[in-house]
Chain A
Amino acid sequence: MTAYVSDVITLARKDLRLELRARSTVPAMLLFVVSALVVFHFALPAGSSDLAAKGLLWVAIVFTALLGLTRAFVAEREQHLLDGLLLAPCDRSAIWLAKSIATLAFLLVAELVALPAFAIFFSGIDGATIAGVVLADVGICAVGTVLAAMAVAGRARELLLPLLFLPLAIPIVVGGVGAGVADNPGRYLGFLALYDVVFAIISWASFEYVVAE
């Protein structure tokens, strides 16, 4: 167990260090999410409801996450580095967990800017919406990372990832929007937590088979 945690920390720290050096993913996610919110601000007619605005927030979050996931395995794909990680004696699910943690960190950074920007352009953010966003992020990164690894092996990887990811993100959007607008957000937050647990277990257990050739 200690060795597993140590491997996850080593791999996640490597991904964070790569991003600090290359600065290729987080700036792109920030630019995208802010641009999307600006576009939505002008696209949404004046006097539109908060419900419509919350829906657009989730569109921005899901596509920003998709951008981060598309880049999750860029170094491993371009430099064929997945072989190096697969040869190492660590449990292969540690690669998935570390990559999920790194992607989650990038997404949280983007949201640290996106949520205040949303509050400025549209309406205030309440605690339930923030809790929904955090729970949704966990599910997005757990599922998205395993799908990103799957897409890396394919030829049309830029097409494959959205095709695989967006259908699986529908429950996340349902739960997230519900948590932000319902009178009783607890049900939706519970639904998001259940989604996270179920899909994290599936992703953890299936990663080894996804990366085996």
Chain B
Amino acid sequence: MIAARKLGRDYGTKRVIRDLDLDVPRGGFLLLTGPNGSGKTTLLRLIAGLLVPTAGELDVATTRDRVGFLGHEPLVYRELTALENLDLYGRLYRIPERRERIGMLLERFGLWDARNQRVDSFSRGMTQRLALCRTMLHGPELLVLDEPFNALDEDGAALLDRELAELRPQATFVVATHDPARLAPLASDRLAFA
């Protein structure tokens, strides 16, 4: 699913990733660990197609519409409601039966009652739940998640545990986390950045 050879990425004169070789098979679950600034987010953005490598090769065997990306930012408009945000992405991803899918995800992530509230009235945890809804809206086959448990309370984290376990057989995962023990039962590979 993902193959990298001598992959490198520079920001100006700063080399963040150097000579990285990587293989993630279809259905694999790669766990990325390492301190802040070690290159985890850069690798995730490269895999999602948001960055272009400055050295080496990166082959991701899927199309843009089958990638679900959760970054540090929720990528939802604060001035729009939860429903409007998901409807926007649902239209852009051309999801069949969009409204049913959005309703199901909002229910599942405990946001149905807040569906008509603007995101700027949401707590951080609710915004993260909405970001997870956005990430999973189009049923991606490759999930690229950067600290997915950020800002979630215990209920939210338990909910995400269940979601990831349910999706595990259907998708390929690349997940960066500072809590590898939580995801270790799901992981098939681990890459530690220094």
Contact = CB atoms under 8 A, between A and B. Distances in A.
A26 to B, nearest CB: 14
Given A84-B75, A87-B64, A213 B89 contact: no
Nearest to A7: B92
Interface residues of A, number: 24
B77 interface: yes
Contacts of B69: 83, 87
B93 interface: yes
A81 B77 CA distance: 7
Contacts of B23: none
Interface stretch (A10-18, A35-43, A111-119, A132-140): A10-18
Contacts of A81: 73, 75-77
Contacts of B88: 10, 14
A1 interface: no
A83 B72 CA distance: 11
B5 interface: no
B178 interface: no
A165 B19 CA distance: 40
A75 interface: yes
Interface residues of B, number: 28
A212 interface: yes
Given A10-B92, A14-B88, A22 B71 contact: no
B91 to A, nearest CB: 5
A75 B92 CA distance: 18
Given A6-B91, A81-B77, A89 B50 contact: no
Contacts of A87: 48-50, 64, 67, 69, 75
Interface stretch (B24-32, B78-86, B161-169, B183-191): B78-86
Given A79-B73, A80-B75, A213-B51, A88 B80 contact: no
* Residue from the set A6, A7, A87, A88 with the largest chain B CB neighbour count within 10 Å: A87
Contacts of A17: 79-80, 84
Given A17-B84, A88-B92, A213 B78 contact: no
Interface SS of chain A: helix
Contact of B92 (A21, A83, A89, A213): A89
B15 interface: no
* Residue from the set A21, A84, A88 with the largest chain B CB neighbour count within 10 Å: A84
B94 interface: yes
A79 B77 contact: yes
Contacts of A10: 88, 91-92
B64 A18 contact: no
A85 B91 CA distance: 12
A36 to B, nearest CB: 28
B141 to A, nearest CB: 13
A83 B68 CA distance: 12
Contacts of A90: 92
A85 B71 CA distance: 13
A21 to B, nearest CB: 4
A88 B77 contact: no
A54 B8 CA distance: 55
A14 B50 CA distance: 22
Interface string A70-97: 0000010001110111111110000000
Contact of B64 (A21, A80, A89, A212): A89
Given A18-B80, A81-B73, A88-B92, 5 more contacts: A21-B80, A81-B75, A87-B69, A87-B75, A213-B51
